[in-house]
Amino acid sequence: MGTVVVSSANARSGVEFTDPGLETAISAALDLVEQRLYAAVASSDPFVQEAARHLVDAGGKRFRPMLVTLGGQFGDPTDARLVDAAAVMELTHLATLYHDDVMDEAHVRRGAPSANARWGNSLAILVGDYLFAQAADIAAELGTEAVRLQARTFARLVHGQIAETIGPRDSDPIEHHLTVLAEKTGSLIATSARIGAMMAGAPEHAIEALTEYGEMIGIAFQLSDDLLDIASDSLQSGKTPGTDLREGVPTLPVLYALADDEPSLEAVRLREILAAGPVTDDDLHAEALALLRDSAALKRARQTVRDYADQAAEALSGLPDIAARRALASLCHAIVDRTS
C-alpha cells in the first residue's frame, strides 16, 4: 500500500489537506483500514475469497473510510474502533456495488469486468450478501448502537434502490430523484461521518452536525456526476459524455428540462427529444447534448448542486475550527468547482 496511494485517493475525492500532520494521520489510518478489508474478505474457500476480493483489489477512493477517520478527529482519533468502523462502511459500500451492477446489467466496474459479467448474476448477488454479512459481523464487535446504525442505513439503501426501480409513480419526478439519491448515496456517507464521530466519543452536537454534512455532501457529489455526464469531456467524467442520456437514465438536468415550460424553440425541441426515452440515435444524441449544455435546465441543476454543498458547509459551521473541519469544508468547494 503506502501513503502515496492513499494520498492519491484523497486528491481524487476532492478533499484538500492543509495540515500535513492530519494528512499523515489519515493516510496511516487508511492503510490500516485496507489491511482490515483484506482480512474481512479472507475465506477458506478459494472461490469465495477471489470473488469477495474482486472489488477490494480494484481499489477506489475509499471515500467513506476517509470520512470515518475525519469524523473521528472531533473526538479521540486514536480510538482503535475507528478502523473497524471504517471497514464496516467500505464493506457495506462494496456490497451495494455488487448488487447495483446486477440491477444495472453493468459489464465494467472500476476498470475491470464486473462480478456479474465474470461469474453471473446469482453469484454476484451472493458475494454482495457475503460482504454485507462480514460488515455486520465487524459491526457487532463495535456494539449494539453500531449494529443498529448499520442496519438502519442498509434499510435506507434498499429503500432507495426499490424507489429507483419502481420509478416516481404519482410523485414529482424531481423530488423522487433527489429522494433516491439521499437514500442510495447520502445515507451511507452520512453514516460514515456519524459512526466515526460516535466511535471517537465526539459530543452529540458534533455527531449530528457531521451526519447532516455527510447526507448533504453525498447528494451534492452524486448530483455533480449527473452534470459531468452532460457538461464534461470523457477525461473529466471517466466515461463517454452523454452516457446517461443514451441509456435513458433520468438525471437532474434532464428532469429539469422535461419539467421546463419555456416556449423557446430550443427548449421545445429538447423536450421533444428527451420525452421519447433513451436517445440512442447518434445525430439526435449529439443534438440533445448540445441543447442540454446550453439550457436553463443545466444552469438550474448547477444551482441545486451549489445549494446542497452550501447546506453541507453550513452543517460544519458549529464545529471546532480544526484541520479536519477545514478538510471537510474543502470538499464542498471542490464539488461546486468540478461542475462550474
DSSP string computed for 168-192: -TTS-HHHHHHHHHIIIIIHHHHHH
210 touches 74 (CB < 8 A):
yes
Q: pLDDT below 50 — which residues of the chain?
A: 1-12, 235, 237
pLDDT at 239: 62
pLDDT at 13: 66
pLDDT at 2: 32
236 touches 228 (CB < 8 A):
yes
CA distance 98 to 54: 10
CA distance 26 to 326: 14
pLDDT at 100: 81
pLDDT at 238: 53
- The dihedrals phi and psi of 232, each to the nearest 5 degrees, come to -100, 170
pLDDT at 8: 40
User: Any idea which architecture 18-202 has in CATH?
Assistant: Orthogonal Bundle (1.10)
- One fold for 18-202 and 204-339: yes
197 touches 221 (CB < 8 A):
no
Q: What is the pLDDT of residues 40-58, one digit of tens each?
A: 999 999 998 998 888 888 8
pLDDT at 340: 75
CA distance 86 to 94: 12
Query: Could you confirm whether domain 204-339 is CATH 3.40.190.10?
Result: no
**Global model pTM greater than 0.85:** yes
Q: Where are the domains of the chain?
A: 18-202, 204-339
How far is residue 308 from each of residues 19, 22, 223, 285, 304, measured CA to CA in Å? 26, 26, 9, 29, 6
pLDDT at 6: 37
pLDDT at 98: 86
Q: What is the pLDDT of residues 112-129, one digit of tens each?
A: 778 888 788 888 899 999
pLDDT at 176: 97
User: Which stretches of the chain are DSSP H helices?
Assistant: 3-13, 20-40, 46-57, 63-72, 81-104, 115-119, 121-142, 144-166, 173-181, 187-199, 204-231, 234-237, 243-247, 252-259, 265-275, 282-293, 296-315, 323-338
